Amino acid sequence: MANLKIKKGDRVRVLAGKDKGKEGEVMFVDPAANKAIVEGVNVAKRHQKPTRAMQQGGIIDKAMPIHISNLSLIDSTGKATRAGYRIGADGSKTRIARSNGGEL
């Protein structure tokens, strides 16, 4: 299992694939498969049977997982960046943007 630098709630930009250039918020991360589900990105049509939870069946739009290597974090200025870590004097670990050194 890899130590992923993309977390739930991060804003990311897609670097490759059919949705290249789109931005969205990470909804779910699967570290075992190195994949993430991003809101509004890699959406597929799925046929859904009616169930107790979902009374109305039909064709629904479902966000599918996308590989972590095809995503890039967005810093406070709106530019794509890589993530790094800074260890504070008290031993706390914070994520920083490599592009400008600001916190993520």
Q: What's the pLDDT tens digit per position in 3-14?
A: 678 889 989 999
Q: How far apart are the first and last CA of the chain?
A: 23
What residues make up the domain containing 21? 11-97
pLDDT for 41-63, tens place per residue?
A: 999 999 988 888 878 888 989 99
Identify the CATH number of the domain in which residue 53 sits: 2.30.30.30
d(CA 87, CA 61): 42
Residue 56 forms part of a structural domain: yes
Residue 102 forms part of a structural domain: no
pLDDT at 101: 79
pLDDT of residue 2: 59
pLDDT over 90 at 102, yes or no:
no
pLDDT score, position 8 = 92
**pLDDT above 90: percentage of residues in the chain:** 47
Q: For residue 66, is pLDDT > 80?
A: yes
- pLDDT number for residue 23: 93
pLDDT at position 4 is 78
Number of structural domains in the chain: 1
What is the sign of the dihedral through the CA atoms of 4, 86, 20 and 41? Answer: positive
Do the domain assignments include residue 6?
no
Q: Is residue 73 part of a domain?
A: yes
Residue whose pair of structure tokens reads 């990311």 in the numeric block: 12
